[in-house]
Amino acid sequence: MKNLMKKGNTIFFKNAPRITSYAAICGSKEKIGVIGEFADITLDDDMYGETTYEKAECKMLANAIALAIEKGGYKEDDIDVLLSGDLLNQIISASFAARKFNFPFLGVYNACSTMSESMMLGAMMADAGYVKRAVAATGSHFASAERQYRYPLELGCTRPPQSQWTVTGAGGCVISSDGDGVKITSATMGRVCDYGVTDVNNMGAAMAPAAAATIIQHLKDTGTRPTDYDMILTGDLGALGSRIVKDLTWEKGFDISSRHVDCGEIIYKVIESEFQGGSGAGCSAVVLNSYVLTKMSSGLYKRILFAATGALLSTVSSGQGESIPCISHAVELEY
């Protein structure tokens, strides 16, 4: 084939769509971490002036989208489609945020890997010429996720040491077929992996095989080595999951340990009640759209593989004793 568009599970973008602008909002706990100075808005009040946490999450997401559009110097009419999703049932934050905007909305859900999935879909549309500019965005909130997946906030129970802390934050970026910025050169669609982990508090161990499979698939399809990348960025595996993913890829002959960074592991400064680090859809979205893209735009990193990971469970499935199927999609970024 002359114009190789797809090999294995990896799609190659001929016209290399660009991330022309990006924005991130984070909560008070995230503010003191590494991303605090790179995020556009940092909240002191996790309620964000709203009456419920769900409304706060929705407002964060809507403001992240609006800010990403504004920072790129665009108007609402310049945007052709919004791709967004979140962790709440029926992706209410994303759909409710979308009603504030005057452009079409496509809801996507892939748990915590929603950011890389929406970026991939946005890049596909922009590359094929169906849209000129797409916005990819996602977010999560600790309190609303805790209420949906675990216990009430004020319940006095202990957290197991392998648990993670859902990130309060939202991030979005504009993917454009023209303009300047970080290029999206290829993307690998992930397969659902399930190794039989049933412990809902141990997301890192459940998601690591999916991340490893996608990273290896991408390296094989593109014929690259881990050292060709400045950073291999996973979403929210946490400290435990990061150790496992390094082991799993090493076992298959790809040593990513010198290049691997996990958003969940680096997002919090003090690992105290967060234990293994951050998690949630907002985790990778905030880190990517603040710290990583800022550093890339300044030329510090040239080539990054961004593989966000998601655990596709619900409280019903885990209640019925099902194991946790997980997925990871990878997007390759170049500057």
Partner 1 sequence: MTGKVKGNVNENYLNYVKTQEPPTKHFKNCAAAFGVGGLICCIGQFIRFMLEYAGLSGDELAGATSVILIFLGCFLTGLGVYDRIGRYAGAGSIVPITGFANSVTSPAIEFKTEGWIYGMAAKMFTVAGAIIVFGVFSGVLVGLVYYFI
Question: Which residues of the shown chain bind partner 1 in the complex (CB under 8 A)?
Answer: 51-52, 54, 147, 151-162, 194-197, 202, 205, 209, 240, 243-244, 247, 273, 275, 317, 320-323
In 3-state terms, what secondary structure has residue 221? Answer: helix
Q: Which residue, 156 or 253, is less far from partner 1 as judged by CB? A: 156
Place of tokens 């469970």: 313
Q: Which residue, 7 or 159, is less far from partner 1 as judged by CB? A: 159
Q: Which residue, 50 or 70, is less far from partner 1 as judged by CB? A: 50
Strands 18-26 and 182-188, by their bridges, are antiparallel
* Beta carbon of residue 278, minimum distance to partner 1 (angstroms, whole number): 17
* Beta carbon of residue 197, minimum distance to partner 1 (angstroms, whole number): 7
Extended strands (E) in the chain: 6-7, 10-12, 18-26, 41-42, 81-86, 105-107, 133-140, 165-166, 169-176, 182-188, 231-234, 260-262, 278-279, 303-311, 326-334
Helix, strand, coil % (nearest 5) of the chain? 35, 25, 40
Q: Which residue, 4 or 157, is less far from partner 1 as judged by CB? A: 157
* Beta carbon of residue 113, minimum distance to partner 1 (angstroms, whole number): 20
Tell me the C-alpha distance between 90 and 79, whole Å.
24
* Beta carbon of residue 268, minimum distance to partner 1 (angstroms, whole number): 16
The residues, any chain, with a CB within 8 Å of residue 84's CB and separated by 6 or more, are 61, 65, 91, 94, 97, 98, 105, 106, 107, 108, 114, 118, 135, 136, 137, 138, 172
Amino acid letter for position 98: A
Tell me the C-alpha distance between 135 and 67, whole Å.
11
Q: Which residue, 55 or 71, is less far from partner 1 as judged by CB? A: 55
* Beta carbon of residue 207, minimum distance to partner 1 (angstroms, whole number): 12
Tell me the C-alpha distance between 219 and 201, whole Å.
30
Q: Which residue, 39 or 324, is less far from partner 1 as judged by CB? A: 324
* Beta carbon of residue 167, minimum distance to partner 1 (angstroms, whole number): 19
